Amino acid sequence: MATNFQEYYLPVEGLDSEQDSLILDKALSRISGVESHRVELNNQRVFLHAAHQETLQEAIRVIRELGYRVPVVKQTFPVLEMSCAACAVSVESMLKSQPGVLGAAVNYASGNVAVEYVPGAIQPEGMRHVVRSIGYDLVLDENRESGDTLEDLQRARYLKLRRKTIWALLLSLPVVVIGMFFMDMHDGQPGIPYANEIMWLLSTPVVFWLGRDFFIHAWKQARHGTAGMDTLVALSTGVAWLFSAFNTLFPHFWTNRGLHAHVYFEAAAVIIAFILLGKLLEEKAKGNTSSAIRKLMGLQPKTVTLVDADGQLREIPVGQVEPGQILLVKPGEKIAVDGTVTGGNTYVDESMLSGEPVPVLKQEDDPVFAGTINQKGSIRFRADKVGHETMLAKIIKMVQDAQGSKAPVQKLVDRIAGIFVPVVIGIALTAFGAWNLLGGDNGFTQGLLALITVLVIACPCALGLATPTAIMVGVGKGAEKGILIKDAESLELSRKVNAVILDKTGTLTVGKPEVTDAWWAEDYPALKQILFSIEKQSEHPLAEAVVNHLNDMEVLTVDHFESLTGQGVQAELKGERYLVGNRRLMQAHGVVIDPALAEMAGQWGSEAKTVVWFSGGEKVLALLAIADQIKDTSARAVESLQKSGIEVYMLTGDNETTAAAIARQAGIRHFRAEVLPEQKAAFVRELQSQGKTVAMAGDGINDSAALAQADVSIAMGKGSDIAMEVAKMTIISSELGKIPEAIRLSAATVRTIRENLFWAFIYNLIGIPIAAGILYPFTGFMLNPMIAGAAMALSSVSVVSNSLRLKWKK
């Protein structure tokens, strides 16, 4: 058989010289399956004439190993017309088979597919063409730009489904009434004339017009060797309708053999009606699972008030805001982009981002974030980050990615869904054959009934929805509480955590030194003004804490200022010499230290506070204690974790005394002091080697290696971008109390997944044998196909409803 070679253009970054071209040319010529190739130095790309998808991937691997970069795009597209988990598997497998697609993951509950592809080898239009060929559709950005937003498309689809469902129910109702009450002789009274013909007339539009999508999708899937729920519905209703039409036209075929010519028009019509109703309820419920995203998207206003260079105010769309522009926010308005306050002060409600209910005071130079709500004051602020760069946009992206990611258990479910439909068809045919062999005179009719009922009752949808709906609700619930979860795997793993490592600075503590205690020899404002003026000159972080403590004062002229490394500063004001620093500085300059002051300083030091001495002449004028204070919620969070059976460890680069004091205040039994960044990662590995599932919480660049090593990594939201990039979870408010909340959320989500999978499996394990007629020899019971259709519809709705219970759990 001739090999089907395809042409690809791969963009390659880093092609700078003829030497690069020769290196690539030689490497590509060695790859099996590449018929021809060409390195285009000027266009920064490589042309390949390759045989298989694997050949392309091998070429990309080789190019990357040589140190060049092949740009890969990760993009999420909405998928329309999927009706079950098997549909999701079909879309995923078709996309994965396309040249240039390196990976694809379909989330049936959210209706999205995340695709990783090489832009030079395939474009989104090509992917859409492939997806359409098997009966589904891919929504590209161009649709949204033309005004057809995803929400509009989903709304239109929902309304169309609702219209179909209403018509199907209206047309099916008289068919059911005739089929159940007016077909044969009852109490000596004949049924209505032309009953079969009336039912045929009413059921035909239900099956072939309102249910036509099932047949269209089933045919497109069959052409590509796949099968899904559409296949089951099309086969069951098609067989029931054809059998009934034959019996209506040729009843003598059965009556001449002494058998009754049964018709099942009511079963065919009601199955379509119930499945459409189930789909309608499912769509409604699935919409509720993504309410968190809609809430987040609704936080950004559509327009903003721009302050022109000449001070004039004008309203512009939020999409036109550029960094550096000054915006005005009035009381009650939402803040549109991230920025820094330049004028005014107010309280801002940040609860929708942080989960904390108390409004935050915003003054000049304070940061403000898109999506938060201004309270009573008016402020002006400079736009710093706009569009996709705002914290709100990043949160929305992170939540969308997490809701679309697959939990490890979902991979097993996908494999089951992939073979589910063929297995069900096999069971249905086996039941039909067994009834024909063993069922006696009515064997064919009963067998046909069993075949239809098995096809109808089998529900891959419930299996497909079990995991992703719970993940979507769990991730959304976390986002509402200020806990951002990066992927489903970390959400599933968090419940197993039995060791939590906490960085001290910024995680357990506030992360900003501040004055906690002060003693003054004399309460003279002039002395405070002198200290304020000296510390204003210093660049030391502790000096900043003193300046903030003393608040805005008039700065006096400092005649002489000298920084004494490791000790403090020396300054002169109006001919007087002043010292600000540690005790060694005082002793070196002969300052007399009272024993009571020495005792006070010693006490503060034992509480992990840094003592600053202020003297004039040879007399101590003031003593200040500065500390990075422990957060109000840290001790409660540690206690909550320990009560859950989780061991808590603290790591810090600080000295042993400070570490011991902070650990004591927080109630932490295990800590390590003077730890370097690489030692933090080594400590994580040490705990993992003891069989522990380790969570690491940190906020700095120095924590990033340990965060990457941990099983579950948690970044505190007010920390560095690198820590947030590496971590699998981010606590926006930086409150440690959110960590036990995240672990409880993980446990509740996994419990919901297990409940969903249990009911989905049990439903199919019990329902399919009963539908096949396994109870008939013992009880004479045969399941009616109409009841099977209702059960099938309700199974999906019940799974989604169970997931939605997570929203109301505390």
pLDDT score of 170: 94
pLDDT band at 404 (very low <50, low <70, confident <90, very high): low
> In this model, does residue 329 exceed pLDDT 70?
yes
> In this model, does residue 742 exceed pLDDT 80?
yes
Instruction: Give the residues across from 78 on adjacent strands.
Output: 112
Query: Quick one: average pLDDT of 509-532?
Result: 86
> In this model, does residue 52 exceed pLDDT 50?
yes
> In this model, does residue 1 exceed pLDDT 60?
no
pLDDT score of 201: 94
501: three-class secondary structure by DSSP: strand
pLDDT score of 51: 63
**Cα–Cα nearest to 740, from 611, 630, 615, 642:** 642
pLDDT band at 724 (very low <50, low <70, confident <90, very high): low
For 281-321, the pLDDT digits (tens) are: 767 766 655 565 666 667 778 889 999 888 888 899 888 89
For the chain, the average pLDDT equals 82
801: CB partners within 8 A, 6+ apart: 285
Query: Quick one: average pLDDT of 59-85?
Result: 81
Query: Quick one: average pLDDT of 574-582?
Result: 90
Q: What percent of the chain has pLDDT over 90?
A: 19
> In this model, does residue 381 exceed pLDDT 90?
yes
pLDDT score of 624: 93
Count CA atoms within 13 Å of residue 138 on its CB side: 26
Give the residue with greater pLDDT, 33 vs 290: 33
> In this model, does residue 8 exceed pLDDT 80?
no
Q: With left for phi above 0 and alpha for psi between -120 and 50, is residue 187 left, alpha or beta?
A: left
Q: Tell me which of 252-256, 285-289, 656-660 is least confident.
A: 285-289
Query: Quick one: average pLDDT of 69-93?
Result: 82
| DSSP-assigned letters across all residues of 93-147 | HHHHTSTTEEEEEEETTTTEEEEEE-TTT--HHHHHHHHHHTT-EE--HHHHHTT
274 neighbors 786 (Cβ within 8 angstroms): yes
pLDDT score of 145: 39
pLDDT score of 352: 63
Give the residue with greater pLDDT, 171 vs 80: 171
pLDDT score of 259: 65
| DSSP-assigned letters across all residues of 742-769 | HHHHHHHHHHHHHHHHHHHHHHHHHHHH
pLDDT score of 642: 94
- Top mean-pLDDT range of 3-17, 118-132, 345-359, 776-790: 118-132
**Pairing status of strand 338-343 against strand 483-485:** unpaired
Helix pair angle (460-480, 85-96), 10° resolution:
80
| Count of Cβ atoms closer than 10 Å to residue 168 Cβ | 25
226 neighbors 417 (Cβ within 8 angstroms): no
pLDDT band at 188 (very low <50, low <70, confident <90, very high): very low
Burial class (CB in 10 A: 0-12, 13-18, 19+), 317: exposed
Which residues are catalytically annotated? 503
Query: Quick one: average pLDDT of 40-67?
Result: 79
Instruction: Give the residues across from 113 on adjacent strands.
Output: 77, 106
> In this model, does residue 59 exceed pLDDT 90?
no
Buried b (16+ CB within 10 A) or exposed e, 596-629: ebeebbeebbebbbbbbbbbbeeebbbbbbbbbb
| Count of Cβ atoms closer than 10 Å to residue 194 Cβ | 12
What backbone phi and psi angles, to 5 degrees, belong to 97?
A: -80, -5
What's the CA gap between 788 and 790, in Å, rounded?
5
| DSSP-assigned letters across all residues of 178-224 | HHHHSSS-BTTBPPPTTHHHHHHHHHHHIIIIITHHHHHHHHHHHHT
For 684-707, the pLDDT digits (tens) are: 999 999 999 999 988 765 677 788
Query: Quick one: average pLDDT of 731-746?
Result: 86
What does the CA dihedral 599, 602, 607, 613 come to, rounded to 10 degrees? Answer: 100
Q: What percent of the chain has pLDDT over 70?
A: 88
pLDDT score of 143: 42
pLDDT band at 156 (very low <50, low <70, confident <90, very high): confident
Q: With left for phi above 0 and alpha for psi between -120 and 50, is residue 222 left, alpha or beta?
A: alpha
Contacts 24+ apart (CB under 8 A), 665-670: 665/608, 665/630, 665/635, 666/508, 666/630, 666/634, 666/635, 666/638, 667/635, 667/638, 667/639, 667/642, 668/502, 668/508, 668/638
pLDDT band at 147 (very low <50, low <70, confident <90, very high): very low
pLDDT score of 2: 46
pLDDT band at 531 (very low <50, low <70, confident <90, very high): very high
| Count of Cβ atoms closer than 10 Å to residue 287 Cβ | 15
| DSSP-assigned letters across all residues of 435-492 | HHHHSGGGHHHHHHHHHHHHHHH--HHHHHHHHHHHHHHHHHHHHHTTEEE--HHHHH
Query: Quick one: average pLDDT of 26-46?
Result: 82
What's the CA gap between 401 and 487, in Å, rounded?
7
For 442-455, the pLDDT digits (tens) are: 788 888 888 888 88
Alpha carbon of residue 465 to chain centroid:
16
What's the CA gap between 469 and 85, in Å, rounded?
12
Instruction: Give the residues across from 500 on adjacent strands.
Output: 648, 695
For 219-228, the pLDDT digits (tens) are: 887 887 777 7
**Pairing status of strand 712-716 against strand 694-698:** parallel
Q: Tell me which of 248-257, 314-323, 614-623 is least confident.
A: 248-257
> In this model, does residue 3 exceed pLDDT 70?
no
Residue 598 amino acid letter:
A
13: three-class secondary structure by DSSP: strand
Q: Tell me which of 97-101, 588-592, 806-810 is least confident.
A: 806-810
686: CB partners within 8 A, 6+ apart: none
374 neighbors 335 (Cβ within 8 angstroms): yes
